[in-house]
Structure 1
Amino acid sequence: MGAALVGVICASVLYGVSCVQTWYYFNHYRNDVWYIKSLVAAVWVFDTTHQILISHTVYYYVVTNYANPSSLNLLVWSILLEVLFNGFIGLLVQGFLALRVWRLSNDNIPLTLTVGALVLAEFASSVAFTVKSMNLQTWADLSHLKGLSITVNIVGVVADILIAGALFFFLHRSRTGFKKSDTMISRLILFTVSTGFLTSICAVASLVSILVWGHTLIYVAFYFGIGRLYSNSCLATLNARKSIRGLGEEDTDELSFSLQSLTKSGSKPMSSSRPTNISIKIDTTGMEDYQSRDSRQQEREPEVRGAFSISTSSVDLVAFLCPGE
Structure 2
Amino acid sequence: MATIDNTMGSALLGVIGAAGLYGVSCVQTWYYFNRYGSTDLWYIKVLVGLVFAFDSIHQALISHTVYWYVITNHSHPEALSRLVWSILLEVLFNGLIGLIVQSFLTMRVWRLSNRNIALTAVTASLVLAEFGCSVAFTIQSLQLQTWKELGELKGLSMSVNVLGAVADLVIALILVFYLRRSRTGFKKSDHMITKLIFFSVSTGLLTCVCAIASLVSILLWGQTLIYVAFYFSLGRLYFNSVLATLNARKDIRASTDDPEDLTFSLQTLSKPPRNMSSVRRPTISIKIDTTHEVEQESEKSCNTEKSQEEDLMIR
User: TM-score, length-normalised on structure 1?
Assistant: 0.84
Matched residues in 2 for 1:308 and 1:187: separation?
20
Cα deviation digits, residues 194-219 of structure 1 (max 9, x gap):
11110000000000000110111110
Indicate how the Cα distance of structure 1 residues 317 and 127 shifts in structure 2: closer, same or farther if over 3 A, else same: farther
Q: Tell me if the contact between 2:269 and 2:294 (Cα under 8 Å) persists in the aligned partners.
A: no
Asked if residue 322 in structure 1 is aligned to residue 284 in structure 2, the reply is no
Q: Tell me if the contact between 1:245 and 1:321 (Cα under 8 Å) persists in the aligned partners.
A: no
Asked if residue 234 in structure 1 is aligned to residue 226 in structure 2, the reply is no
Match of 1:47 in 2: 55
Match of 1:122 in 2: 130
Match of 1:169 in 2: 177
Q: Tell me if the contact between 1:259 and 1:301 (Cα under 8 Å) persists in the aligned partners.
A: no
Match of 1:71 in 2: 79
Q: Secondary structure at the match of 1:184?
A: helix
Match of 2:142 in 1: 134
Match of 1:284 in 2: 279
Tell me the amino acid that sits aligned with residue 21 of structure 1.
Answer: Q
Q: Tell me if the contact between 2:269 and 2:297 (Cα under 8 Å) persists in the aligned partners.
A: no
Q: Tell me if the contact between 2:189 and 2:305 (Cα under 8 Å) persists in the aligned partners.
A: no
Indicate how the Cα distance of structure 1 residues 76 and 235 shifts in structure 2: closer, same or farther if over 3 A, else same: same
How many Å apart are 1:14 and its aligned residue?
0.8
Match of 2:152 in 1: 144
**Which residues of 2 match residues 113-262 of structure 1 at below 5 A?**
113-248=121-256, 250-251=257-258, 254-260=260-266
User: TM-score, length-normalised on structure 2?
Assistant: 0.87
Structure 2: gaps spanning 5 or more residues: 1-7
Match of 1:275 in 2: none
Match of 2:21 in 1: 14
Matched residues in 1 for 2:279 and 2:76: separation?
102
How many Å apart are 1:97 and its aligned residue?
0.6
Matched residues in 2 for 1:262 and 1:172: separation?
25
Matched residues in 2 for 1:72 and 1:287: separation?
96
Matched residues in 2 for 1:190 and 1:14: separation?
21
Match of 1:97 in 2: 105
Match of 1:26 in 2: 33
Aligned length: 306
How many Å apart are 1:15 and its aligned residue?
0.6
How many Å apart are 1:143 and its aligned residue?
1.0
Q: Tell me if the contact between 1:46 and 1:89 (Cα under 8 Å) persists in the aligned partners.
A: yes
Q: Tell me if the contact between 1:43 and 1:89 (Cα under 8 Å) persists in the aligned partners.
A: yes
How many Å apart are 1:264 and its aligned residue?
8.8
Indicate how the Cα distance of structure 1 residues 133 and 283 shifts in structure 2: closer, same or farther if over 3 A, else same: same
How many Å apart are 1:66 and its aligned residue?
1.8
Q: Secondary structure at the match of 1:44?
A: helix
How many Å apart are 1:259 and its aligned residue?
4.7
Higher mean displacement: 212-221 or 237-246: 237-246
How many Å apart are 1:52 and its aligned residue?
1.1
Match of 1:3 in 2: 10
Matched residues in 1 for 2:138 and 2:269: separation?
68
Q: Secondary structure at the match of 2:279?
A: helix
Tell me the amino acid that sits aligned with residue 279 of structure 2.
Answer: T
Indicate how the Cα distance of structure 1 residues 107 and 211 shifts in structure 2: closer, same or farther if over 3 A, else same: same
Structure 1: gaps spanning 5 or more residues: 271-281
How many Å apart are 1:318 and its aligned residue?
4.0
Q: Secondary structure at the match of 1:81?
A: helix
Cα deviation digits, residues 26-64 of structure 1 (max 9, x gap):
111122222211111111110011111112212222222
Structure exhibiting the larger radius of gyration computed from Cα positions: 1
Q: Tell me if the contact between 1:176 and 1:182 (Cα under 8 Å) persists in the aligned partners.
A: yes
Matched residues in 2 for 1:216 and 1:170: separation?
41
Indicate how the Cα distance of structure 1 residues 312 and 121 shifts in structure 2: closer, same or farther if over 3 A, else same: farther
Matched residues in 2 for 1:147 and 1:172: separation?
38
Indicate how the Cα distance of structure 1 residues 28 and 266 shifts in structure 2: closer, same or farther if over 3 A, else same: same
Q: Tell me if the contact between 2:214 and 2:228 (Cα under 8 Å) persists in the aligned partners.
A: yes
Q: Secondary structure at the match of 2:114?
A: coil
Indicate how the Cα distance of structure 1 residues 114 and 306 shifts in structure 2: closer, same or farther if over 3 A, else same: farther
Match of 2:65 in 1: 57
Matched residues in 1 for 2:41 and 2:187: separation?
31
Indicate how the Cα distance of structure 1 residues 64 and 136 shifts in structure 2: closer, same or farther if over 3 A, else same: same
Match of 2:5 in 1: none
Q: Secondary structure at the match of 1:89?
A: helix
